[in-house]
Amino acid sequence: MTELAVLNHWVSNASFTGTATRTAPVYDPAVGVVSKHVRLAAAEDVDAAVASAKEAFETWGRTSIATRQRVMFAFRELINARRDELAQILTEEHGKVLADAAGEIARGIEVVEFACGMPHLTKGSYSVEVSSGVDVYSLREPLGVVGVITPFNFPAMVPLWFVPIAIATGNTVVLKPSEKDPSSSIWIAELFAEAGLPAGVLNVVNGDKEAVDSLLEHPDIASISFVGSTPIAKYVYETGTAQGKRVQALGGAKNHMLVLPDADLDLVADSAVNAGFGSAGERCMAVSVVVAVDPVGDDLIEKIRDRMGKLVTGDGRRACDMGPLITREHRDKVTGYLDIAATDGATVVVDGRTAEIDGAADGFWLGPTLIDNVPTTSTVYTDEIFGPVLSVVRVKSYEEGIALVNGGPYGNGTAIFTNDGGAARRFVRDATVGMVGVNVPIPVPVAYHSFGGWKQSMFGDAKAYGPHGVDFFTREKAVTSRWLDPSHGGLNLGFPHSS
Ligand code: NAD
């Protein structure tokens, strides 16, 4: 039997084995077999990565912005040319279909392109003659060594939400990707090295809680950018800030799509299916609840069901619409909600367990599932399921619908579907949610806006990427300067003010 590869860490622009003996299996979810193992870093391995980043910061933090920008442009060219290679890795380890993997990479490249404009984005401001002979200017400086901890569901895009902005602003990075699909982060780090990024500027440690805790406690880590489930995001935020670090921690979601009676139901059905089942529902911006305002429920269910009948679930390397779930345990957990739905009095309209699969028998499959009349007391409604399960809740009015949108603990994304501009405008203002779509089901902002939810979907003040990303990875310094004029002088113990 051939021995499986073991994925190393990446430190100082080289593969790094480290000291730890623990490993975790990485699966090919469409086949259901272990495809490789990944090393799980011990504290000493994290120390080695941080030490490399700390040393690199001495130079990189003072490297000209033009040089940093050139590396970013070179990386952009390389990733563009080799995006198919990366898509293959995503599909092999995550399971999402190739077309979806390509979409994820395109959204990551958007942030790289945004980071190429860093000279403009970090321009300071200058006020001349604020007092006699005195000028004030502000500049933005990097934080130092920053930690980035990412989830399994966007193994390329989420690292790319943070890494390009962090390094373009002069920081050095220790990235800890999800241990479930870690290869794309190593691939990205290798590509950055090829683009000319100096050793130590981007390091990758593979690992689990032990590595995360080591980063959170490390005195040389200035900030933590985290994306993952809400309980871990809260833990990371509380632990990191208690250690005096700057932390942005993005968490889970339960996104509602409100459908008003005047909406174009064909557009709604297309959108609900695309946003509910894309990436097998393993997106933090997936639509998981359709809130149908009377009387559209029955027609909408029919239209959604029709479209679901056309979806092919299977191996993402084939011409399929939807791939498997990430692990067998996760698939079983998601499947468990179908039993709960029946017990709680909902109607399972389409049961994904019976779907025909274009893939290996042992893949982690669950076909698209539609559940109608979900009681809002059921855990099918209240939990983030993170699978291909679309719930429909019927309400009598807009007021009842917006109360559901705003009623839960999360506030990541939401959407309204209507042809009434006034109603849409009211919804935009009423929603206590960070990202809102109007006839757009997955309102992920472009790279020059910022991404983040409200309430339990995000801890900390700075969202990911865009202007918030630049602010997060820099700190402002305000300089008050005077070049002495012979006419000035003398003692004055009063508080300085403009004169
Ligand atoms: P997760 O919380 O299990 O893991 C995220 C990261 O935390 C991983 O790197 C993992 O190794 C680490 N981790 C896991 N358990 C830990 C622990 N006990 N202590 C410290 N670190 C730990 O999340 P996941 O399953 O990889 O990803 C799916 C979740 O991420 C969903 O809840 C989804 O909504 C959320 N997500 C949110 C966003 C967003 O922008 N808000 C984006 C993508 C995913």
Measure Cα distances from 49 to 56, 116, 122, 242, 308 in Å: 11, 26, 27, 22, 47
Rounded distance from Cα 210 to ligand 1 centre (Å) = 14
For residue 149 and ligand 1, the question of a CB distance below 6 A is answered with yes
90, 153, 154, 210: residue to mutate for ligand 1 pocket, most atoms within 8 A of CB:
153
Lookup: tokens for 278: 């894309």
Q: What is the pLDDT of residues 407-423, one digit of tens each?
A: 999 999 999 999 999 99
Beta pairing, strands 172-176 & 145-149: parallel
Q: Which residues contact 316 (CB under 8 A, 6 or more apart)?
A: 30, 91, 95, 96, 97, 98, 100, 101, 323
Segment 322-350 mean pLDDT:
98
Cβ 42 vs Cβ 19: under 8 Å: yes
Beta pairing, strands 454-455 & 313-314: unpaired
Domains and CATH numbers, the chain: 6-251+457-479 (3.40.605.10), 255-438 (3.40.309.10)
Measure Cα distances from 53 to 160, 202, 220 in Å: 18, 7, 9
Q: Which atom of ligand 1 is nearest to the CA of 208?
A: 11
Residue whose CA lies nearest to ligand 1 atom number 39: 250
Q: Which residues contact 222 (CB under 8 A, 6 or more apart)?
A: 143, 144, 145, 146, 171, 245, 246
Q: Which residues contact 404 (CB under 8 A, 6 or more apart)?
A: 256, 289, 291, 376, 393, 395
Question: Count of CB atoms within 10 A of residue 430's CB?
Answer: 16
Say what the pLDDT of residue 496 is.
84
Count of residues in the chain: 499
DSSP for 231-245, please give it: HHHHHHHHHHHHTT-
Segment 255-268 mean pLDDT:
98
Q: What is the pLDDT of residues 69-112, one digit of tens each?
A: 999 999 999 999 999 999 999 999 999 999 999 999 999 999 99
Say what the pLDDT of residue 194 is.
98
Q: What is the pLDDT of residues 169-227, one digit of tens each?
A: 999 999 999 999 999 999 999 999 999 999 999 999 999 999 999 999 999 999 999 99
**What does pTM read for this prediction?**
0.97
For residue 179 and ligand 1, the question of a CB distance below 6 A is answered with yes
Q: For residue 341, report the phi and psi dihedrals to the nearest 5 degrees.
A: -60, -45
Q: Which residues are catalytic?
A: 284
Closest by CA to 456, choosing from 433, 437, 431, is 433
Strand positions, DSSP E, 229-360: 246-250, 255-259, 287-293, 313-314, 347-350, 357-358
111, 216, 224, 229: residue to mutate for ligand 1 pocket, most atoms within 8 A of CB:
229
- Distance, CA of 317 to CA of 327 (rounded, Å): 18
Residue whose CA lies nearest to ligand 1 atom number 15: 209
Mean pLDDT (the chain) is 97
Q: What is the pLDDT of residues 342-381, one digit of tens each?
A: 999 999 999 999 999 999 999 999 999 999 999 999 999 9
Say what the pLDDT of residue 490 is.
77
Cβ 378 vs Cβ 277: under 8 Å: no
Q: 3-state secondary structure string, 464-477? A: ECHHHHHHHCEEEE
Cβ 476 vs Cβ 146: under 8 Å: no
